[in-house]
Homo-oligomer: A and B are copies of this chain.
Amino acid sequence: MKSNLTAVAAALLSATMSTSALAQEVETERHTLSLETISEGLNHPWGIAFLPSGDMLVTERSGTLNIITQEGQKTPIQGTPEVVAKSQGGLLDVNIDPDYADNGWVYISYSEKDPKGGNGNSTAVMRGKIDGDKWTQGEVIFRQAPKYESNAHFGSRLVFSPEGHLFITLGERYSRMQDAQTLDNHHGKIVRIWPDGSIPKDNPFVGNDDALDEIWSYGHRNVQGAAIHPDTGELWTIEHGPQGGDEVNIPKAGKNYGWPTITYGEDYGGGEIGIGTHKEGMEQPFYYWLPSIATAGSIFYTGDKFPKWKGDLLVTALRGQTIARLDLEEGRVLHEERMLEDATSFRIRDIEQGPEGFLYILTDADSGQLIKLSPVK
């Protein structure tokens, strides 16, 4: 219903609108792209999710959830939860239920203030439904514990496994980095729950009284990107590192990814962190960037519009102002390309593949854009 109404509204509007920005062409190693601004004036947009109709859900960090049509018609949704919109916090990722067509659930992650009063906050995940331009039936299905007074390192991507688990990637709140090594909290963890918030019985620490049952893996810093590998079904994550040391990981159940004990990065300003790069019992990343490009969102490309990128891991970067393309082959990186780096100058927060195989990115700025990438050749 919503989609139909939105489509009608968009069609009416597009007949009278002028395109907001001219398409720009950018060459890359394997394809030449056309970049077209679909929507602009978005306040630090953070996450994109596609509805079956081809309309997009797009979050703005300051707290607004929008439906945006392919023609750029934007409808803010009313009644989404209050967020702590300070520094890195606010309304963050959005995703739809794997059975959305049947159940209509939409999931959002956001920095939530302590519901008991207090000055603390942490990442929460709520699911709800969208009825016209209203957020309804909202229910919090996960709260990162403990609440803590910090405006940094919230995570927090939402991805579903092929079996229907919801993975939530969480930050360590920066000044609580040592918590990433202990299991009695959700700082610097990836958690795995069912979409209703219940805990899968085969989670690795279920039955361990000293560990929280939601934890899937630990020793993370600030995981802002996540994607499910299209062939293996495994979770791949993109961890925003310290100065140097952004990482790709393939987090396995119960494993320790080392932060802040081992890292390839160094502290902002140049100090050493931890004991080095390797330690028994701690996992190595799959790949790392040094100097840091400030990684953010990520997908595996599986469409037909960019056939020479099929199977590649695309990772967006903030400071790096690039989409890093990792050409993968049999479990290794064959080659990395930094796309757009010289051709554009925007921090890129997220990337998604649309149902037709086009790509969509969000630029991170006070007045950010939603940009569509199409192949020229």
Which residues of A are interface residues toward B (Cβ below 8 A)?
29, 244, 264, 277, 284-290, 308, 329-337
Contacts and interface: CB of A to CB of B under 8 A. Distances in A.
Contacts of A286: 332, 334
A353 B192 CA distance: 48
B29 A284 contact: no
Residue with the greatest number of chain B CB neighbours at <10 A, chosen from A286, A329, A331: A329
Given A29-B290, A290-B29, A332 B335 contact: no
A372 B164 CA distance: 57
Contacts of A337: 290
25 contacts: A29-B244, A29-B290, A264-B335, A277-B308, A284-B329, A284-B330, A284-B334, A285-B334, A286-B332, A286-B334, A287-B332, A287-B333, A287-B334, A287-B335, A288-B334, A288-B335, A289-B335, A290-B335, A290-B337, A331-B331, A331-B332, A332-B332, A332-B333, A333-B333, A336-B336
A17 to B, nearest CB: 39
A314 to B, nearest CB: 17
Given A29-B290, A287-B333, 19 more contacts: A29-B244, A264-B335, A277-B308, A284-B329, A284-B330, A284-B334, A286-B334, A287-B332, A287-B334, A287-B335, A288-B334, A288-B335, A289-B335, A290-B335, A331-B331, A331-B332, A332-B333, A333-B333, A336-B336
A339 to B, nearest CB: 12
Residue with the greatest number of chain B CB neighbours at <10 A, chosen from A244, A264, A284, A335: A335
A124 to B, nearest CB: 34
